[in-house]
Amino acid sequence: MSLPEPRDPAGPYRISVVCLGNICRSPMAEKILTADLERAGMSDLVEVDSYGTGDWHVGGGMDPRAASTLRVHGYLTHHTARQFAHDVLATRDLVLAMDLDNVDELRRVIDEYGERYGFDMSRLRLFRSFAPDVSANPEVPDPYYGGDDGFTAVLNMVEAAAKGLTGELVTRLRR
């Protein structure tokens, strides 16, 4: 899968990860991808942040189960939830949705505002599409209403996709 070209070749490649409430999946993906990029020596070339499509948790922290899962695996956990706004499109090279409902919501935003910000659908992908072994379901399921094992499953899915994405970013940006 090829990545979209950087919008600003002189600046960092900017990625936003989006889920529903920005307290579980997208902040986990943000922290894991950021750690992978740091290990690959890419932290000066790529910026990662995260958002939710909904506003329920804006200003709050990460779900304690998500934070605990990250912490156990050696990742950072500081996070403040925020909602995706159309003006984010102006500066992002890639927006990664965690599931198809998030894709649908982001498509509506892109349909309405994408032309204004020069952001087209080729810059919207499912996060898990970068995993090397995505089976029939490329979504990262929402663990919010389940138990701790759901957060561990999400972590494993996100780690695989983050490694794949990091590899593509290394290939694209290290010239």
Residue 24 annotated as catalytic: no
Can you tell me the distance from the alpha carbon of 78 to that of 96, in angstroms, rounded to the nearest whole number?
20
Question: Which of the following is catalytic: 19, 24, 65, 128?
Answer: 19
Question: Which of the following is catalytic: 63, 93, 99, 142?
Answer: 142
Question: Which of the following is catalytic: 14, 25, 92, 125?
Answer: 25
For residue 128, list its beta bridge partners: none
**Count of alpha carbons within 13 angstroms of residue 31, beta-carbon side:** 23
Residue 172 neighbours by CB distance under 10 Å: 17
Residue 175 annotated as catalytic: no
48 and 171 Cβ atoms separated by less than 8 Å: no
Residue 85: which of 55, 60, 48 has the closest Cα? 55
Residue 133 annotated as catalytic: no
Q: Give catalytic residues, as residue numbers.
A: 19, 25, 142
